Amino acid sequence: MKLKVFSIDVAYGRKIVLKNIDLEFEEGTLTGIVGPNGSGKSTLLKTIAALIRPIRGTVYIDFKDIYKMSRKELARKLSIVLTERPEAELMTVRDLVALGRHPYTGIFGRLSERDEKIVEECLKLVNALHLKDRYFTELSDGERQKVLIARALAQEPEVLILDEPTTFLDIKHRMEIMSILRDIARRKNMIIIASLHELDIAARFCDQIVIMRDGRIVARGPPEEVLNEDTLRYVYSLDNVGVWGRGPMLEIKIRPDPRLLIVAGGGTGIPIYRTLARLGIGFYTGVLYSFDIDHITASTMNAGVITYDPENIDKCLEAALSILDRAIIVVDSGFPRDGTYRHNLKIIEQAREMRKQVINIHNRPLRDLVEIIKDKLLNRAQ
């Protein structure tokens, strides 16, 4: 299933607010739409959801023009969570989520046994089943957002659109909401599109980033490719901006998997780590100094990390060779080739002698690595 935005222009009166937008979205992916206020993010989402009709172009779901679909037919394909909160003074969580079944219920809105089951399943998906008997107005902002996502999921859509789902939430709920969305995209093989303000969170969780300014698309692609200094300076009109800072690090946790060894250092491993973490793929990495940013990032993710000990270099290499022995794929991140990482050069040489599959990711698209890993590790496991 594909969602395609084809050459759309949108106007408010005589003012063009979106110009020549072309996008494609693949199933099983989470896409973040980012950009400054007034860049057109919300207008784009509402246009994709058929709440706004473009003056030129159209949007296709499974090659069907959404503007030619009935409201009921579209509601079975696509759902949207807006920033506005519903009036739900006397509604329980269960009753509010049940409203999401409206494309399937009869004129009186009675729920079947299957409808009731779907309502419960959707609450489970967002970790909110324990809230089902509480009134919506009693909930915290984070709990309300989960319930609204559950209501949208109750429509059983193929596409889920969210306008600023993390705004006004504390960091705990921001991370939880994004984790839930990422997992739902994978588990349900859905297309999920969300407008976001927090670039760091978008970079951690989204498979694709679309960057907008003044109603146009400036860049689109994996976060590691498009969230660069030049682009962000232009989009946000900042003269002094550094993309890579020393602020608080928030990373997705994974389970270490010795079948995949990433030989890294000096920050070269981070784009690989984060790409794999978004896909739920575990790995080991090393040999890294404890102060290396790759070490800090991988440790925060709960990956398996082989730490360099200058007092016992042989022990470090022994630990690396132990993982190497079990590895199916070895990734050369393109770490610096100076004397600082000479121990990692030995690991790469040893991997080749052992006839391991060594992939040099330097100047190579990360998607190539992902496809190889899926083929060698994930498909094999299935």
| Structure confidence by residue, pLDDT tens digits, 203-231 | 889 999 999 999 999 999 998 889 887 88
Question: Which run of H or E residues covers position 147?
Answer: helix 141-153
Q: DSSP E strands: which ranges in the chain?
A: 2-12, 15-26, 29-34, 56-61, 64-65, 78-81, 159-163, 191-195, 208-213, 216-221, 260-263, 284-288, 304-307, 329-332, 357-360
Residue after which a domain boundary falls, among 236, 270, 286: 236
Same domain as 172, residue 51: yes
Same domain as 166, residue 53: yes
Residue 374 lies in a domain: yes
Residue 301 lies in a domain: yes
pTM of the model: 0.79
Same domain as 137, residue 90: yes
Residue 246 lies in a domain: no
Same domain as 268, residue 225: no
Range of the domain at 110: 2-236
Same domain as 360, residue 280: yes
The pLDDT value given to residue 215: 96
Count of beta carbons in the 10 Å neighbourhood of residue 70? 9
The pLDDT value given to residue 247: 41
**Which segments in the chain show pLDDT lower than 50?**
244-248, 382
The pLDDT value given to residue 245: 43
Same domain as 210, residue 300: no
AA letter at 357: Q
Structural domains of the chain, count: 2
The pLDDT value given to residue 246: 37
Residue 327's CATH number? 3.40.50.720
6: β partners: 58
Same domain as 268, residue 224: no
